[in-house]
Amino acid sequence: MNLKGVNDLTSEEFWAFSLDFYSIAAHQEALIWLQDHAQLNVNLVLLIFYSAINRHSFNNNKIKCLQKSIKELDSLTSNLREERRSHKANKIQVGQSDYKDAYYRELLAKELMLEKQQQTTLIETVLCLNKCEKTDELSADQAKSRVSEMLKLLIVTDKTSRLAAETSMQKLLEGMIQFSARKLNEKR
């Protein structure tokens, strides 16, 4: 895995990274939990990991700008996701185990399109912010440490939920470390 300079990050590579990272069942489970229970945007969490693997981090102000940049898209995506989940639950409730009909697949395709659009917006925002404010490159250890700090900035829930969210994030952080080590070994 080649490290990218912060101005070399692309939405296509971020999407490929996200699909690869999300394809691991434990990562998927933790990300969905954070999305559903801690109201975290999965794409922003993935961007933090993607950036950390490339040894970059964001300060609190940049994270807030990133959140703001996708707020509308996130709302649209959440509404579509809820509609898709509701459709699935209704089909299952009436005994139809094959809930993946044309309407379900259409909703899923639209949801994925919005997810990809969010990622493009996030990368564009990072690039724009970096024109105004220099981003320091980090050592691998600094990047790993900074990921945990950045993720904690995203959690705004009560203490019980916060502990569960931090546990999920810790699992993801460990997964990210293993994932990046595996990717580095594949390139050798």
**In degrees to the nearest 10, what's the CA dihedral of 43, 181, 149, 52?**
-60
Q: For the chain, list the strands marked E by DSSP.
A: none
Stated pTM of the model: 0.77
Give the model confidence (pLDDT) of 70-89 as tens digits. Answer: 999 999 999 999 999 999 99
Q: What percent of the chain has pLDDT over 70?
A: 68
Q: Is 136 helix (H, G, I), strand (E, B) or coil?
A: coil
